[in-house]
Structure 1
Amino acid sequence: MEIEGVRTDRLGLLIDQFDRAREMAQVRLTGLGDEEYLWEPAPGSWSVRRREDAVTPRAFGPGEWVLDLGAPDIPANEYAEVARQAAAGMTVAKIADDWSVSVERVEQILAHTGEPEPDQTPVTTIAWRLAHLHFHFAGAYEWTFGERRQEPKLLVDFTPSASVALERFWPLIDRWRDSVAALTEEQLDTVGLSQYPYSNDSEYPYANVLASANIEFIHHMAEIALLRDLWQARFTADGK
């Protein structure tokens, strides 16, 4: 049964899902101020910082402000993917290169038995999560619909201003979304339509890449929404 205005094709479902997530995210980000944007809810939080104040070894960005990034590792929830890569015939060296870790680390993961230890991941600020999304989608656009030549880590000029970050973020997201909406069925099935270098996008049909991009947007925006709730609760608990 067809319902007027409701799409059930692959692209329609993905676009509708993204549009709804974007609408909810924009509502939830209304009124975001700089203090809340940069609030560090726990010691050792990752954030957007001046280059000289970065607390992580691989912080990056083209300008004065950089995005915290730690040493590369493979999270526990990706151990199964590493095993899949090995089973598919990838060499340990290639897997290590793919994840930017040592050969020894890959061998350790492949030899692991039982449940993996929980990941010890840093708490990140709203600024970090929004900047991470901006960086991810800027790179996804450049290496799918753009010239496919610019270094993704140089595409986004990070900022300590919440309003400036959002003014830059939404137009990029809308440009990416409009380019996605113009895809053909053939392009959705094309392996390697995206050549984004900081992922394995090039190994999958683009429909799968889009589904992953939606998940990336939704889960980080949900985290941002929770941080906003915690920020408000913090002030309520302090009696302010």
Structure 2
Amino acid sequence: MIPPRLTPLLSQFDFACERLIDRLGGPAVDSGDGTPVSVDPMTDDEFQWEPVPGCWSVRRRSDEPGPRATFLAGRGEWGRDLAPHPHPWPPPVTTIAWRLSHLSEMLLLRADHTSGSHTLTRDDYVDTGDAVTAIAAFQRGAAVWRQALLNVDDAALDIVGVCTYPHGSDPDEPFLEIVWWVNQEVLHHGAEIALLRDLYRAR
């Protein structure tokens, strides 16, 4: 039984994820009024496209961090540009690869720190340099976070620290606030990714 307070947030999350996945992979996406608009699948070149100099992205570890980044997060051949707090100001423009990696890692880790082992860190996350694998990683992250939401009852929504995700305010916030925050992360980064797709097409 889904808690009534969680129902609209879960519906919003599902809508945001479905729209982003459709926007990335095609063959069509809802234009906003129910009319399908044709969308080409994202290519690896577009995935890694840097629209301005000094972008943060996902890079081969052998290439070292990008401008103003101090390390590449994750493990394996690829990593995401990052720097410890305080982050560079003004913030660097980030590629679709960076934004998808950020979303996928956040969803996976928050799910683990809600109803999993409570042990995963950024060092456990594996990035890749291709669009197809990155889209699949986002879908997996969305699925495990959704399942974590289905495992909580209404009382848990008011409890501070249900999620112990170490890269946010989760240990200090009621869980309902964290659910809302995850939704806005998917919504606003999804909109940024959609704009980057538009700019890439019109470049």
Give your verdict on TM over 0.5: yes
Give per-residue Cα distances to partners, 1:165-224, cap 9 Å, x unaligned.
112220221121122033210111111101111111111110011001111111111100
SS for the counterpart of 1:68 is: strand
2:99–2:189 Cα contact (<8 Å) kept: yes
- Distance change >3 Å, CA 147–CA 14, structure 1 → 2: same
After superposition, residues 36-51 of structure 1 pair within 5 angstroms as 36-51=46-61
1:159–1:165 Cα contact (<8 Å) kept: yes
Structure number having the greater strand percentage:
2
Identical columns (%): 40
The alpha-carbon deviation at position 60 of structure 1 amounts to 1.6
Structure showing greater radius of gyration is 1
The count of aligned residue pairs is 184
**Is it true that 1:60 corresponds to 2:60 in the alignment?**
no
Give per-residue Cα distances to partners, 1:40-98, cap 9 Å, x unaligned.
000000000011212221222111111001342168xxxxxxxxxxxxxxxxxxxxxxx
- Distance change >3 Å, CA 228–CA 204, structure 1 → 2: same
Structure 1 unaligned blocks of 5 or more: 1-6, 76-118, 235-240
1:129 to 95, 99, 115: 99
2:80–2:101 Cα contact (<8 Å) kept: yes
Query: Matches of 1:125 and 1:74 in 2, distance apart?
Result: 17
Aligned-residue Cα RMSD (Å) equals 1.7
Report the equivalent of 2:139. 170
Query: Matches of 2:8 and 2:128 in 1, distance apart?
Result: 34
Report the equivalent of 2:170. 201
**Is it true that 1:34 corresponds to 2:34 in the alignment?**
no
Stretch deviating more after TM superposition (193-202 or 38-47): 193-202
**Is it true that 1:212 corresponds to 2:176 in the alignment?**
no
Query: Matches of 1:153 and 1:16 in 2, distance apart?
Result: 28
2:115–2:151 Cα contact (<8 Å) kept: no
2:108–2:144 Cα contact (<8 Å) kept: no
Q: Give TM-score scaled by structure 2 length.
A: 0.85
Query: Matches of 1:154 and 1:74 in 2, distance apart?
Result: 19
1:186 to 131, 155, 171: 155
